[in-house]
Structure 1
Amino acid sequence: MDYPNDQAPGAPVRSGVPEHGRVPKYYAVKARLSALVDTLAEGEALPTERELAVRHEVSRETVRQALRDLLLEGRLRRQGRGTVVAGPKLEQPLSLASYTEGVRRQGRTPGRRLIGLDRFPCPAALAEEIEVARGEPVWHMERVLLADDERVGLESTYVAVARVPALDTGFDPDSSFYAHLREELGIAFGDADERIETVLATPREALLIGTPPALPMLLLHRLSRDTGGRPVERVRTLFRGDRFSFRTRLGAGSRD
């Protein structure tokens, strides 16, 4: 593996650098590109790969590897055939607030694009989760999540037809489902179980969200209940790992 000439063994340890002090060329280029990004405004384009390779006296593959890292970290994004500076990550609270509310709080415009809405007999595993009889009709609504018209996620919602009978005619799929339940049906959320994991999107999911299949995603599974403790919805949401972070506030609970 090639290393920059100025990184000799015994040099001071730097962030992300092994103890022996040797740094792969792509990492050194990444550090320089990161400093460049700090001087540019959101949406401003970086020089081409060829220009960066000449400027830093490295191969274009070394530049690509450095750019890939910065893309995965969410500091850059692809625009057409070029690379531009990305804005700050969207910070979503881990709470019962809807996606719409979370995005609006950050001064961005939320939106959703309907991919499909259909009803089908509820399978056994889902029926147990949302506490309906097996075979009872349920809705499946799939929507792409938008922030300022940028595709940032994919949401699949499962809800019993008996709870929301007119979902196909009385609901605007571009709007907040939580607001519809609250304002039109009088359903108030009480609590939810939520689990987060990192995954890679399937080819279909990557195509819908507009990302490379290799981009890490944050996958949220949520089972929401009303104030009476009855399940309302089962939701599976993919968020782009380069565009989203999550936060929560922890209290001082009991300790073992």
Structure 2
Amino acid sequence: MDYPNDQAPGAPVRAGIPEHGRVPKYYAVKTQLAALLDDLGEGGLLPTERDLSERYEVARETVRQALRELLLEGRVRRAGRGTVVAGPKLAQPLALASYTEGVRRQGLRPGRTLICLDRFPCPQGLADEAGLERGEPVWHLERVLLADDERVGLESTYVAVARVPRLDTDFDPDSSFYGYLRDRLGISFGDADERLETVLATPREALLIGTPPALPMLLIHRVSRDTEGRPLERVRSLYRGDRFSFTTHLGQPLGTDDKN
């Protein structure tokens, strides 16, 4: 398929140029840098800011602004004192599947680092949202998500102690929680409600994930139930916006036709 103005699928319309045709200097440099990234390939080291400012005949601050946008978009990443071309984003499906399964499908090694596993009486807000009873004991499992040992997210899971009474002794924190429920306890997921939004990480979250606080994050809230419709878990998953994208398959809603 041919695309107008040599645009690839998903690229900004007219390469992001305003209708009045006046292009900010930093954006022109960003466009040139994008072409340079394609030439260098994944892992390629970019020239220094000084070299780039001389090459494109602009101020170093203009180069910095272009690099900042490429960094936020996940096109480049910091490596020591330099900047290198980043690899493709991880495409995680919006489905009732574990993080482990999604990462493995892309040929990467999933992992997790345990931050905390504690229990407390369920507060009213969590009870209302997850269909639990106020005051009943719940586990809070917090883990940093890894892909090939790179920190890419932070996950907090809340589940009733009555459903998983030996979570603190029988569960390996570096493994899949979904796999533990399925293989050790015989619990299967039935359905879930999920909400996705963009946020900035708190200072604590940014420190745990190892990102600048200004880096946009993708936040997913999920409330899951088992095959009998009973509440199972409430999860808050925070993913790096420069390393993740999410995919889903959409079908035609029941009761509609294709006439409109």
TM-score range, shorter chain: over 0.9
Aligned equivalent of 1:15: 15
Structure 2 residue ranges without an equivalent (≥5)? 1-12
Letter in 2 for 1:140: H
How far has the Cα of 1:153 moved from its partner? Answer: 0.5
Deviation readout 1:159-178 (Å, 9 max, x if unpaired): 01111111111100000000
Runs of 4+ in 1 over 3 A off after TM superposition: none
C-alpha distance after superposition, 1:171-208 (max 9, x if no partner): 00000000000000110001100000011111111111
For 1:170 and 1:14, the matched residues in 2 are separated by 55
TM superposition shift of 1:18 = 1.1
Q: Report the count of equivalent residues.
A: 244
Separation in 2 of the partners of 1:126 and 1:225? 15
Q: 1:163 is matched by which residue type in structure 2?
A: R
State the match for 2:237 in structure 1: 237
Q: Which residue of 2 aligns with 1:150?
A: 150
Q: Does 1:223 align with 2:223?
A: yes
Unmatched runs of 5 consecutive residues or more in structure 1: 1-12
Deviation at 1:80, TM superposition (A): 1.9
Is the 8 Å Cα contact of residues 132 and 231 (structure 2) preserved in structure 1?
Answer: no
SS of 1:15 mapped into structure 2: helix
Summarize deviations over 1:4-50 as a string: whole Å, max 9, x none.
xxxxxxxxx94211122111111111001000001122222111111
Distance 2:81 2:37 in 1: 18
Q: Percent identity?
A: 79
What secondary structure is seen at the aligned counterpart in 1 of 2:40? coil
TM score, norm. by length of structure 1? 0.92
What secondary structure, in the 3-state scheme, does the structure 2 residue paired with 1:39 have?
Answer: helix
Q: Which amino acid aligns with 2:45?
A: A
Q: Which residue of 2 aligns with 1:59?
A: 59
CA–CA distance in structure 2, aligned partners of residues 132 and 223 of structure 1: 11
Deviation at 1:121, TM superposition (A): 0.8
* Matched position secondary structure for 2:33: helix
1:91 corresponds to: 91
1:133 equivalent in structure 2 = 133
Alpha-carbon distance in 1 for matches of 2:16, 2:100: 36
Q: CA RMSD in A?
A: 1.3
Task: String of CA shifts for 1:63-83, please: whole Å, max 9, x gaps.
Answer: 010001111111111122211
Partner of 2:120: 120
TM-score (norm 2): 0.91
What does 1:178-197 align with in structure 2 at a 5 Å threshold? Answer: 178-197=178-197
1:23-62 paired onto structure 2 within 5 Å = 23-62=23-62
Give distance in 2, aligned partners of 1:220 and 1:169: 28
Distance in 2 separating the partners of 1:37 and 1:122: 50
